[in-house]
Amino acid sequence: MQLKNPKPIRQALTLATCGMLAGVAPAGSVLAADKPLEVDSAILFYSETDRVQAFEPVVRVRKEIGEEEFVSARVVIDALTGSSANGAIATATPQTFTSPSGNATYQVNANETPLDPTFHDTRGAVNAQWEKPLSQQLKGVFSANASTEFDYTSFGLAATISKDINDKLTTLIVGASANFDQVSPAGNIPVGLTPMPVFPAVKTTTDASDTKTVTDLMFGVTQVINRNTLMQLNYSFGSDSGYLTDPYKILSVVDGGTGALRASDPYVYEKRPDSRARNALYWKMQHQFTEDVLTLSYRYYGDDWGVTSHTLEGFYRYELNATHYLQPHVRYYRQGKADFYHTYLIDGQETTLKEASADYRLGDLTTTTLGLKYGMALGEGSEFGVRLEVMNQSGESDSPIGVMAGQDLSTDLNAVILQINYSLLF
């Protein structure tokens, strides 16, 4: 089952794993850059309380094939299991839902957030990359990626060109990427804002699959401030088009006076716009003290769906001695909801709205992550590391009415993330 925008679990896991791989090289690896082969490996475990569990191993191999020219490949296999919020609200009575395939039902107890227990997925992904000097000041990085799962396939291309100026104290960067995806959900694609039928009735659908295109442009500058400080500033613009709805999410429809579920057709499928324009500004600073390294970053995001977010993040690498270090990590994320986000719909509202979604990932969110990594050099060119993080996410809901007043409509969750990595230079 593919989770969609914004900030899907899989995207969060991918970012965490990529960040882990980007930071596993030992402190002496810069001096050992002439080594012909690098191998980075990592395993990530992610567990939400009473919800999604994930396991993701990843391996990256990078080989020098010429003067400052490299090729690399990365392979990822991840598995998601557990229960995922389907978008409906908790009620004082038990609820019965039709499964996404339309071939069965599942039950949710009274006063519990409705979770779909049929949630599961396994994905395989590969990425190939070529880094090549184009001139004395220019460098190009070109990559292709592909991934597949039972209801989603994706293929993408990307290119980044960087140019050194100002005696190599300043680097200008421009990048572009495009991904072409196909969505093939279980039970076909439901018509947005139409009722979820009671099994064995069949839902109203359009096609068995649909497509989605994602393009991104990035402009950046990296500046050496002094011998100990490096600063980076990036601006990116993205455009999504095609099928952007999550075919597995629904909304509850309630009586506007009592707040009780509508007697007939109490749930409808969500519907999102078929286009999305995204803007992001990213700032990063790294400062090396005598031995320790401080990394701070800030990211602003906004799109034409009305979603805005602010992300603050910090790492401090504390060198215990020549071979051991600790690295605390803190991250704060604050998101404003999409224009079409609704915790629930009032009876008849689905006929007047163009789009609506109760997916908590489109709502008001505050997420705090605290973590600590321990790293140890095992010899020249190799390192072992382990990171443990705890994440708390809280969401704000629309005001309850009537009988909903006694229900918890929030989307709070807690998660634990364990990352283990090993790197080796041959």
Residue 292 lies in a domain: yes
| Cβ atoms 221, 232 nearer than 8 A | yes
Of 174-183, 342-351, 376-385, which range is least confident? 376-385
How far is residue 354's CA from residue 356's CA, in Å, rounded to a whole number?
7
Task: Spell out where 134-228 has E strands.
Answer: 138-149, 152-165, 170-183, 210-226
Q: Taking 80 as the threshold, does the pLDDT of residue 34 lie above it? A: no
The one-letter amino acid code at 359 reads D
Residue 1 lies in a domain: no
Residue 344 domain boundaries: 9-425
Residue 35 confidence class, pLDDT cut points 50, 70, 90: low
Token pair of 143 as six digits: 């990559």
The pLDDT mean for the chain works out to: 91
Write phi, then psi, for 362 (nearest 5 degrees).
Answer: -105, 5
Residue 426: the pLDDT is 81
Name the residue among 52, 120, 43, 29 with its Cα closest to residue 75: 43
Distance of CA 399 to the CA centre of its chain: 28
Written as one string, the DSSP assignment of 304-358 is TTS-EEEEEEEEEEEE-SSSEEEEEEEEEEEEEPPTTB-SSEETTGGGT-S-BB-
Residues facing 396 on adjacent strands: 364
Write phi, then psi, for 404 (nearest 5 degrees).
Answer: -70, -15
Output the pTM of the full model: 0.90
Name the residue among 242, 324, 236, 337 with its Cα closest to residue 282: 236
* Rg of the chain over all Cα atoms, to the nearest angstrom: 23
Residue 23: the pLDDT is 39
Q: Taking 60 as the threshold, does the pLDDT of residue 6 lie above it? A: no
Residue 395 lies in a domain: yes
| pLDDT more than 70, % of the chain | 92
How far is residue 273's CA from residue 421's CA, in Å, rounded to a whole number?
39
Of 21-35, 235-249, 311-325, 349-363, which range is least confident? 21-35
Contacts of 257-266 spanning 24+ positions with Cβ under 8 A:
257/401, 257/402, 258/402, 258/403, 259/400, 259/401, 259/402, 259/403, 259/404, 259/405, 260/91, 260/402, 260/403, 261/91, 261/95, 262/347, 265/195, 265/196
Residue 57 lies in a domain: yes
Q: Taking 90 as the threshold, does the pLDDT of residue 118 lie above it? A: no
Q: Taking 70 as the threshold, does the pLDDT of residue 22 lie above it? A: no
Name the residue among 210, 207, 246 with its Cα closest to residue 100: 246
Residue 3 lies in a domain: no
- pLDDT tens-digit map of 187-208: 999 999 999 999 889 999 999 9
- pLDDT tens-digit map of 77-102: 999 999 999 999 999 999 999 999 88
Residue 74 confidence class, pLDDT cut points 50, 70, 90: very high
Distance of CA 283 to the CA centre of its chain: 19
Residue 32: the pLDDT is 39
3-state per-residue secondary structure call for 276-310: EEEEEEEEEEEEECCCCEEEEEEEEEEECCCCEEE
Domain count, the chain: 1
How far is residue 88's CA from residue 249's CA, in Å, rounded to a whole number?
8
- pLDDT tens-digit map of 290-349: 999 999 999 999 999 999 999 999 999 999 999 999 999 999 999 999 999 999 999 999
10 sits in which H/E element: helix 9-22
Residue 411: the pLDDT is 78
Write phi, then psi, for 13 (nearest 5 degrees).
Answer: -65, -40
Residue 4 lies in a domain: no
Torsion of CA 107, 112, 117, 123, to 10 degrees: 150
Torsion of CA 26, 372, 335, 217, to 10 degrees: 0
| Cβ atoms 109, 93 nearer than 8 A | no
Residue 64 sits in a domain whose CATH number is 2.40.160.40
Residue 411 lies in a domain: yes
Write the DSSP symbol of residue 90: P
- pLDDT tens-digit map of 147-170: 999 999 999 999 999 999 999 999
The one-letter amino acid code at 68 reads E
